[in-house]
Structure 1
Amino acid sequence: MPHSPGFPMYRVSSSLPRFAKALLGGVGLATLWVNLAPASYYDAIEHRLLDLDLPRWLAPLPVSLTPLNITADGLMAFFLFFIGKELWEALTQEHGPLKGRQAMLPAGLVLGGLLGASAVWVIVSQLVETAEEAGFATGWPVPLGSDVVLCFLVGRAAFGPGHPALHLLLLLTIASDSLALLIAGLAAPDVSLRLAWLLLPLGAALAAWALFGRNPAPDAAETQRRAGRRLWPYLLAGLLSWLGVAASGLPPALGLLPVIPAIAHADRSFGLFAEAEELLHDPLNRLAHALAWPLTVVLFLFGLTRGGIDLQAFAPTTVTTLAALWLGRPLGMLVIGLGLAAALGLRLPQGITLRDVLRIAVIMGMGFTIPVLSLETALPGGAMQEAARLGLALSLLAGPLALLLARAPAPRTNA
């Protein structure tokens, strides 16, 4: 396949490896806890810290604050903001890797991965699922997401820190995770959607953009320049946006994404999670920099509250989860994604080979953070959720397989 211009070479921020280690640390501790003392583990993460008696027009069901939902619905919104910012810059900024026709190949690979994972989930679950509470296609949104930080950790070891395939992998995982959580929220069978509430994040974002989000003109007064650097308007808009998304019935973790386009930002993209962006002082990058260390704690807490793996939970749902991630996603990416690319005459980015795309597809057979967020609404509680969680944990074995493929010698070609 011919090539198009490639991704720029740049250093990725050290935040991502730190995030991955924090997440794995939380998962490891939670897994040890839940297998040694399951009652105390579940009592701890589901402990009611506060019961809120909210009016029905704001929350149709009673709301209890627990470590579980504070982390998943509240704190993880900052993580989604952090990765959503990178996707927005890739789509809109100068030299962004998803501008114009360059977006078509990654979009095809993402679409293929989503379709392949969901189709295999439906087929395999019909063949092997035995749970009484399972209906046709129950849980199909679970395998749609991947895992940005864990895939990056494996991808850096497989490709090297500066390889353009690593940057394509980041694009695909960010886009897949964002779409997967949105789809899971829209497809949740037991969630009452009240989409009129989305007018609140829309209004908050438009107001923030109109009043503060446009970069000052070159001849603007110093007072205007200072106003353009303020962060509090975006913090207020973010709070209103989160409230509107949560009240709408969509996953609250998506609540900060609507304000990203409204925040004043640099004009040029330095690359996904580029280390060079730490030198930028526009409001969007300042907010991202301020989150870098707190998100380390957030991902540890997410692993601790959502990552406890019951090692005795193996069931047909575990097989379905693994089939969707290990077979459905890679096949969908390669057959649908590359097939669409060939039909449209799209080219691989410079420096990326078909073998690299195969390794990317294998690495994206890993799924944890976003799929775990989807479990609560996509599957009935209890055994099916725990079996799927075990499948998600086992899917991380795709990482060592990708490293073995990376060390395999490339096929020799005749001159």
Structure 2
Amino acid sequence: MYRVWNFLNEYSLLLILGAVTALIWANIDYASYHHFVEFVIWDDAPIGHYHHGHRTLTLHYLVNDLLMALFFAIAAKEVWEAVILKNGSLRGKKAATPLFATAGGMFGPIGVYLGLALIMGSDTYNAVANGWAIPTATDIAFSYLVGRLVFGAGHPAVRFLLLLAIADDAAGLIILAIFYPSAELAPEWLLLSLITAIVVFVGFNWLPRFTDRGNQARPNSTWVRKNLNYFPYLIASCLSWYGFMRSGLHPALGLLPIVPTIPHADRAFGFFSEAESYLNDLLNVIEHALKRPVEVILFFFGLLNAGVQFSSMGDATWLVLAGLLVGKPIGIVLFGWIAAVPFKLGIPQGMRIIDLVVIGCVAAIGFTVSLFVAGVAFDAGPVQDAAKMGALLSFGAAIVSIIAGKLSSVQKQPL
């Protein structure tokens, strides 16, 4: 069974509410909206935007750079389990074709985005080139919802779409870390994150298990879990986040080194799996505890990032949309076909090659991560607003997906 409706209720509905509120507010009174977004919580703070020798903690920084780290930690948790655990969805031959398709879903949008920007002229290209990663994103929750509507919950294409979206999340995290630093790089600060991760893993995960080997009662591991619970990882997360902030890498990724250090289940049941909610390992317990806070965080993320005026549409808007609505389907179909046919890796039983076209259209819903990347790719101003509008309008891919499903005679398959 899948719990997508619960997931959407817990995450996406408040996100949409925040985004819609921001759009309305920005188009009624942009000045007051901008003042709200840049509200100064603490001037000359130990964390925040660095300007002229001191840091300023604004509401925007608090949400995008600090609190969104919890959102990316949950995404990293799903990717980590998919890769490392027994029966993880990105392990083995079953993941080969989706991984190829994911690569196509990255290169296709980049090629279309930058190619069209070049055609538009050097001035346009220079202005928008840094946003090449915006259309590579796939919003996993909304794409999954639309995939179920088009294919039916039991269609193998839905599972294929999930694998692709999880791999896309992993690639997106890597792109953010490598290509979008938040400040001048000071990589020596990453040692703080690395050392913290090693210490917390060895001291509170590996060592108790090592000393308990051969003893089924597991007294040391039980004592650590009962008396210390998540506190060592909370402290480690704070130190790791601070290390990322000082290193110049985007601090929203600061919890990623800590996620693999937390004790986890021996196997993964898959994203949206009902069984995940019954797992009592510390990693899943922490994820469950974070769901409500992240729900509120995503509301504020939508509120603080989606407030663009409709008049701000520009070249970046159409380039982002072209990358998503044209580049994604083309890349996914081309790379998916190469993997399935010439490389003979195959596709899931009950799925057709033409279904890759529909999957490509569904995966073109960028929204959350596209909106985030647009915010870090460009400085505040007309180009950033235009790119954000493209991310918001990518919801139109849902309509395109439904039409593509009808034209390709998709047969819905219930559970």
Does 2:130 correspond to 1:138? yes
What residue is the counterpart of 2:73 in the other structure?
Answer: 81
Q: Secondary structure at the match of 1:270?
A: coil
Could you tell me which residue of structure 1 aligns to residue 235 of structure 2? Answer: 236
Superposition RMSD in Å: 2.7
C-alpha deviation, 1:410, in angstroms: 2.2
Residue 62 (structure 1) shift: 3.3
Contact 1:11 1:161 in 2 (8 A): no
The answer for the alignment partner of 2:222 in structure 1 is: 225
Q: Which residue of 2 aligns with 1:51?
A: 43
Instruction: Note the residue ranges of structure 1 that are not aligned, 5 or more in a row.
Output: 1-8
* 1:332 partner letter: G
Q: 1:317 to 1:39 in 2, by over 3 A?
A: same
Structure 1 distance, partners of 2:341, 2:245, is 41
Q: 2:188 aligns with which of 180, 188, 196?
A: 196
Task: Report 1:342-357 matches (<5 A).
Answer: 342-357=341-356
User: CA deviation digits over 1:212-241, x for unaligned, max 9?
Assistant: 224554524434323145211111121112
Unaligned runs of 5+ in 2: none
Cα 1:408–1:140, aligned 2, differ >3 Å: closer, same or farther?
A: closer
C-alpha displacement of 1:178: 3.5
Could you say which structure has the higher helix fraction? 2
Q: How does 1:34-73 map to 2 (within 5 A)?
A: 34-54=26-46, 62-73=54-65
Q: Deviations over 1:251-303 (max 9, x none)?
A: 11111111111110111111113221111111000001101122111111111
User: TM-score of the superposition, structure 1-length normalised?
Assistant: 0.89
Alignment of 1:32 with 2:9, yes or no, is no
Structure 1 letter corresponding to 2:221: Q
SS at match of 1:366: coil
Please say if 1:97 is aligned against 2:89.
yes
The aligned counterpart of 2:281 is 282
Alpha-carbon distance in 1 for matches of 2:11, 2:128: 36
Q: Percent identity?
A: 35
- Cα distance in 1 for partners of 2:139, 2:53 equals 31
Q: Deviation string for 1:368-414 (max 9, x for gaps)?
A: 211221123322431111111111112210012212333457289xx
Q: Which moved more, 1:83-92 or 1:33-42?
A: 83-92
Aligned partners of 2:410 and 2:220: how far apart in 1?
Answer: 62
Instruction: Output the CA distance in 2 between the equivalents of 1:263 and 1:369.
Output: 26
List, as ranges, runs of 4+ consecutive aligned residues in structure 1 with deviation greater than 6 Å: none
Q: Larger deviation: 317-326 or 227-236? A: 227-236
Task: Give the length in aligned residue pairs.
Answer: 403
CA positional deviation for 1:118: 1.0
Letter in 1 for 2:224: A
Within 2, Cα distance between the matches of 1:323 and 1:286? 40
Partner in structure 2 of residue 170 of structure 1? 162
| Aligned positions of 1:16-415 closer than 5 A | 16-54=8-46, 62-128=54-120, 134-135=126-127, 137-188=129-180, 191-214=183-206, 215=209, 217=213, 219-228=216-225, 230-408=229-407, 410=409
Which stretch of the first structure deviates more once superposed, 382-391 or 26-35?
A: 382-391
Shift of 1:66: 1.6
Which amino acid in 2 is paired with 1:231?
Y
